[in-house]
Chains A and B, each alone.
Chain A
């Protein structure tokens, strides 16, 4: 009756790196081509520096301004991480409570979903006013509020979207509510939460940097961009924007990595089926 199924493949480190290169190569080629076209357009059409600097000019500015940019990046990353920490923790806690208590679910979820479609960035000046322009917490709180709703909503969805038969199964074992939570609801919610986390890294980066546009200490990426534009050193502004992009992408990749560590079954299934 049993049919021999091949053992799940165990990938060696070399194979992993190899497939990594294969997976990323097309994207890398396209990106390099994009940069080349950009430079070409700037040179051929003699685009003014303050309209659009070419990648080479941006790279030069990047090298010249590295110490200042690095200091600004450190400051902004601190805000982002603080905001992510606050927003994600609060979002997961609120999600757990909301999923647990039906009364909360009925009263809070519509509000949360509505709040999620409000342009929270519009509140940035208000947060600066509340927490102080010079206080990193003002930007961290914008980032936190931006992350909070998607994380909360996805946590609730993940915790409650359990197969009814799974709950009946646990009931037939006379499992306690805590057991059901631990062994069924939490693992079921993980993919939902990680989807929200990926989004949260992007939102937190946007929140912090845009928050800084409305006022922040000089040593911050947002202010660096704003003042560079003010002095028409546009390539410096672009160099700072490259840093914000790198922050966003790095955080996103860190979440993807964490996802693979925390729920290997999920990534494996996505690859195999």
Chain B
């Protein structure tokens, strides 16, 4: 995994102006992500991890610093459709079938009809949902809806997949299956992934690197290299090294907490936009 980085952040900070005075959501973020990396952003609520993800995706712009994606500014990368996004809510449109939902980005870039259909079918096959192409989103379970969202995000062969707590609303069993599923897809597509999560086990299990963040202002305090074998499966979760890494991330998180304890009220400072339902109670 060498060569020019896919994502490079230098001196990125974000200040939100609010009625209660400005809030520093992020400060002094430097991050380099290589091609094919799987980087998780983990941290307490309000640490700005979702904000950071949105800055990389040019959904919001940083107050200071630069974001370079594939050697160009993030805004250019967005216009070039280098991103695939998956949110905590699947954002599927009920007026479209599953197939047509996956075709949406292809319609926007104006690909011909036959090409759209073929590409969407291939993506649905990748997430193993081909039999459901003609269904409506509400007829699928939460996990299946999220897999449709992943298929849609991959439809444009994006250089980077940005995922904002995509499995946060799912139950633990489904979440673990989705983790395996995502790794399989990542392996097949070779795409670079940035993954925001609240779950320590999930971050360690999925990632090549885990960026541990602290709140107010949001900073990356530790980078944990996950030196588990690339091939991961159910046994990975029982490896000694896996537990060590989980502990390492947990201790890094604790080190970033304010001494008073629980990190204060859930203000959601640096977490704009989408209404989120948080799955609290980190297990493992």
Binding site for B on A (CB under 8 A): 1-2, 4-5, 7-8, 163-166, 168-175, 179, 183-184, 187, 190, 263, 265-266, 268-269, 272-273
Q: Is the CB of A163 within 8 A of B89?
A: yes
Q: How many of B's residues come within 8 Å of A, CB to CB?
A: 39
Binding site for A on B (CB under 8 A): 54, 57, 59, 78-79, 81, 83-85, 87-89, 91, 93-95, 104-105, 107-109, 128-129, 131-132, 134-136, 138-140, 144, 156, 162, 177, 181, 273-275
Q: Is the CB of A179 within 8 A of B274?
A: no
Number of A-B contacts (CB under 8 A): 86
Q: Is the CB of A165 within 8 A of B273?
A: yes
Interchain CB contact (< 8 A) of A265 among B57, B131, B136, B140:
B136
- Given A166-B91, A175-B108, 4 more pairs with CB closer than 8 A: A5-B131, A172-B162, A183-B107, A269-B138
Q: Is the CB of B59 within 8 A of A2?
A: no
Q: Is the CB of A1 within 8 A of B138?
A: no
* Nearest CB on B from A221, distance (A): 39
How far apart sit A49 and B273, CA to CA, in the bound complex (Å)? Answer: 65
Whether A179 touches B139, Cβ cut-off 8 Å, given contacts A165-B273, A187-B95, A265-B94, is no
Q: Can you report 13 residue pairs joining A to B where beta carbons are below 8 Å apart?
A: A4-B131, A5-B139, A5-B140, A8-B135, A165-B87, A168-B273, A172-B59, A172-B162, A173-B156, A174-B108, A179-B108, A183-B108, A187-B93
Question: Could you tell me the dominant secondary structure of chain A's interface residues?
Answer: helix
Q: Is the CB of A173 within 8 A of B128?
A: no
* Nearest CB on B from A234, distance (A): 50
Q: Is the CB of A165 within 8 A of B177?
A: no
How far apart sit A272 and B132, CA to CA, in the bound complex (Å)? Answer: 17
Q: Is the CB of A164 within 8 A of B273?
A: yes
How far apart sit A263 and B109, CA to CA, in the bound complex (Å)? Answer: 25
* Nearest CB on B from A126, distance (A): 42
Q: Is the CB of A2 within 8 A of B181?
A: no
